[in-house]
Structure 1
Amino acid sequence: MPARTITVASLFTSCLLTAAMGTGCSEGSPSSAEAERRAAAPALDKAQAQRILDSYADGANRVRRKLNRGALAGIEADPQLSMDDASLKLRRVIKRPPPEVKFSNTTFYIPRVSGYPHWFAAGAVTGQGKRSMRHALLFTQAKPGAPWLLTANPYPTSDALSTVALDPDGYATPVEPDEKNGLATAPGKLPEAHAALLTDGPGASKASLLADGAQTSETYKALKQGEQTLAGRGVTLSSRFSPTRYRVFALRTKDRGALVWYVLKQNEAYSSSKRGQLAVGGDLLGLAPVKAARTRMDTTVLVQYLAAVPPKGRATVTGMYRKAVIAHGT
């Protein structure tokens, strides 16, 4: 590859963050809607949730051994499915299978929900020592009799799920996306606010709902610096984030706040007037031929987030999982 070729690997990078999570209890009575949810029957118990997690691990390891993308649909749903499918495409190209899936230190957070989708979360760890990784897995069941599928799995940098409040029977309380009772902001407002911040900066409308941090203000700064660096090499990059159609899930926390799962879409466009200046690389491998980008490369990226919404103050992003899922070169 010529020395001046710019490898397009998607500028947005994962960064670790340190987030302090409140775990104390505050005074306050639940809303009537929340009281109704607390009275609902849970969709399953912890023993059943453990079997679902074990079955997922078995299925993931079968996929791993053969890099069988087709089998993913039997154990995952979007957005996780699209993201892991793209990851397998990359691993086929680099000929490196994903690591074995073996969960430890597992804790389940099963909400009392009426209607579908049924869902639950699980905190778990894979790997050991310096290679260990935390998971905030979220499984859903779309309708009666449907399989339980892994729908989201952002990687928290702390034991964020330990802040989820449990009732005397050990079950969690769901928070609806539009519910603001006792919260600094409704969970469903986070995608729009986060997308605005990453696209237009901390001064954007509603961006103040989110605290400064590695996945918010620092990411925006890094993107702007990256754009300037590429411009100096003759490459123009534009990047825009937007909310997605994927459902927002949330659980009540011990401090009467909420722990929230949500997803953003990032569209990147790289261009250069000089042919051959761009090349496909990084997490775009497998999505387009290496030489597909002659003068332009357009990518679509999905980013899962885990965030803590307090009763008062700004929401803190505590985890993420990012993967490019589409790339087109011209």
Structure 2
Amino acid sequence: MILSIFAGAGIWLTLRSPSEPQALVANPAPLPSETGVEATTPLPPTPVPSGSGQDGRSTPQPSSKPRTVATEEARVLVTVPPAVEASAAAHPLGLSAKQVYGIHGRYQRELSKAQIALDQEAMGKLEHGLALEMSRASFKTARLEGTGVASGMWPNPKVWIPRHVDGTPDWFVAICYRPGIARVFDVMSSTPAGWRLVASAADTQSTPAQFPKIAADSDGYATSLPENAPGLLATPRQVAAAHLASMADAEPDPMFADGPWTSEVVEFWQQERARLEDAGWTLRLSYQQEGPVRALRTSDGGALVWYAARSVDARRAQYVGAKVSLKGSAAVRTANRAFTHSVSATYGRMYVAHVPPAGSTEPVRVLGEWSDVLESHGD
């Protein structure tokens, strides 16, 4: 079975050992193929009263392949789109498109070095905010497990540079696509300390979702949109809130198209909650939006939207009975222990979605995700 592992902006494929135990009761997000909860003692005979100790919150990830793909380590030359290069000198940042490619290229090279060394300090010079926290957490997990993380570079990125908006940091998007491997969306922003990766997501499906065209003006620049931008099926902030609420409540939202980061997540958590109830445990989950919501206009009048969240899945026993243990990265953080009273895991999550224009009959499509365990504990 294929297992997805992500660190920084790299996506990698690894194989799970066939001897790894299967989840019998529930899986904590984000990687059901590698993380989960397992009943290690017989289930108690007494059923749990309906609705006992639950608030309907949730946080999983289904059989989708989150951020994980093999990449090439060799450096590659990139082609600057003529429309962007022609007007780059006039950009308010004072950066040419070639310089923007250079910023992202240096990030990839330095990331690869940091991944090889599991260098948490170096990551502080490459990433910012939740992205930095997620990458550092993956390094910590690797050290605890005695393993490493894959390293390498994504070839042939394409960049989109939004025009400057007063009062907001400058940022750009770099998108890499390897057919049959993944499409990766990186967002880099200016910070007081320099340019940093602040968001990322990937689609590693064998057939990735259709990618919308990003709109460019006559000078080749993209148009950034505010969180409350009108003219869309819903504002970028409303889309982020609705998506997170749907997963937290394990209830489908008709605003969103079916897929690995929407309907499959909902179904996954519904099943896992039911299995935990049978074992005499309750499941409380939450998704809290974190950081800004960023958006770029697409040529259809819609928008590409990036947003992030911190999720917590907490399990609590209602009476003495089944023990629960975590799997995957969450298990590494708890030294593979089994718990009799409670256990929880916290994750960082990032998404990118396409929002159609107002009046469209098309649903919002979530196009990619990055998730990583930040911490886990229990008693």
Q: TM-score, normalized by length of structure 2?
A: 0.71
Q: Map 1:41-60 to 2 at 5 A.
A: 41-42=92-93, 44-60=95-111
Counterpart position of 1:114: 165
In the alignment, the residues of structure 1 paired with residue 156 and residue 91 of structure 2 have an alpha-carbon distance, to the nearest angstrom, of 28
| 2-structure distance, mates of 1:175, 1:328 | 39
Which amino acid is 1:119 matched to? W
Q: Cα distance, 1:243 vs. partner?
A: 2.2
Give the structure 2 partner of residue 289 of structure 1: 335
Return the offset for 1:95: 2.8
C-alpha spacing 1:52/1:2, structure 2 compared with 1 (3 Å): closer
Partner amino acid for 2:232? L
Residues 17-46 of structure 1 deviation map (CA, whole Å, 9 limit, x = unaligned): 9xxxxxxxxxxxxxxxxxxxxx97356332
Shift of 1:111: 0.3
Q: Give the corresponding residue for 2:213.
A: 163
**Structure 1 gaps, min length 5:** 18-38
Q: Does structure 1 retain, via aligned residues, the 8 Å contact 2:26–2:276?
A: no
1:206-237 CA-partner distances (Å, limit 9, x unpaired): x4433333322221121010111233234332
Once the 2 structures are TM-superposed, how far is the Cα of residue 268 of structure 1 from its aligned partner?
0.7
Instruction: Provide the rounded CA distance (Å) in 2 between the counterparts of 1:118 and 1:64.
Output: 27
Match 2:225 to one of 175, 178, 182: 175
Aligned equivalent of 2:307: 262
Structure 1 SS opposite 2:259: coil
Cα distance change, pair 2–299 in 1 and its aligned pair in 2 (3 A)? closer
AA in 2 matched with 1:264: A
Mapped contact 2:25–2:275 kept (Cα < 8 A) = no
Query: Structure 2: which 5+ residue stretches go unaligned?
Result: 1-19, 30-35, 37-59, 66-89
Most deviating of 259-268 and 227-236: 227-236
What is the identity, as a one-letter code, of the residue corresponding to 2:170?
H
1:212 to 246, 251, 258: 258
The structural deviation recorded for 1:326 is: 2.3
Matches within 5 A, 1:281-320: 281-291=327-337, 293-311=339-357, 312-313=360-361, 314-320=363-369
Residues 51-77 of structure 1 deviation map (CA, whole Å, 9 limit, x = unaligned): 111211121122112111222111001
Matching residue of 1:196: 245
2:191 to 142, 145, 155: 142
**1:296–1:329 Cα contact (<8 Å) kept:** yes
Q: Say which structure is richer in helix.
A: 1
- Aligned-pair CA distance for 1:15: 4.4
Counterpart residue type for residue 13 of structure 1: Q
When residues 198 and 159 of structure 1 are mapped into structure 2, their CA distance, relative to the original with a 3 A threshold, is closer
- List per-residue Cα deviations over 1:257-280 (Å, max 9, x = no partner): 000001123221112344881234
Structure 1 residue 302: deviation in Å?
1.9
Distance 1:79 1:298 in 2: 19
Which deviates further from its counterpart, 228-237 or 106-115?
228-237
Indicate the SS of the match to 2:314: strand
> Alpha-carbon deviation of 1:14?
4.9
Give the aligned residue type for 2:128. A
Residues 147 and 263 of structure 1: is their aligned pair in 2 closer, same or farther, counting only changes over 3 Å?
A: same
How many residue pairs get matched? 299
- Whole-angstrom CA distance in 2 between matches of 1:171 and 1:54: 20
2:268 alignment counterpart: 222
Give deviations 1:166-191, integer Å, cap 9, x for gaps. 223221110111111x2111111122
Deviations 1:115-163 (A, max 9, x none): 331100000147xx75x332100001124xx311011110035376661
Q: Which residue of 2 aligns with 1:30?
A: none
Selected match of 1:242 from 288, 292, 301:
288
Paired AA for residue 299 in structure 2: K
Distance in 2 between the 1:185 and 1:2 partners?
43
Q: Is the 8 A contact 1:14 1:322 kept in 2?
A: no
Aligned to 2:47: none
| CA 251–2 in structure 1, closer or farther in 2 if over 3 Å, else same | closer
What is the Cα deviation at residue 286 of structure 1? 4.4
Show the counterpart of 2:115: 64
SS in 1 for 2:100: helix
SS at match of 1:271: strand
Q: Which amino acid aligns with 1:108?
A: V
Normalising by the residue count of structure 1, what TM-score does the alignment of the two structures yield?
0.80
* Equivalent of residue 151 in structure 1, options 171, 187, 198: 198
Please report how far the alpha carbon of residue 78 of structure 1 lies from its aligned counterpart in structure 2 after TM superposition: 1.7
User: Once the 2 structures are TM-superposed, how far is the Cα of residue 8 of structure 1 from its aligned partner?
Assistant: 6.5
Identity %: 26
* Kept after mapping to 1: 8 A contact 2:26/2:273: no
User: Over aligned residues, Cα RMSD in angstroms?
Assistant: 2.9
Residue in structure 2 matched with residue 33 of structure 1 by the alignment: none
Deviations 1:63-100 (A, max 9, x none): 11211122211100122111111111222233332222
Deviation at 1:297, TM superposition (A): 1.0
Aligned with 1:283: secondary structure? helix
Report the secondary structure of 1:241's partner residue: strand
Map of 2:176 onto structure 1: 124
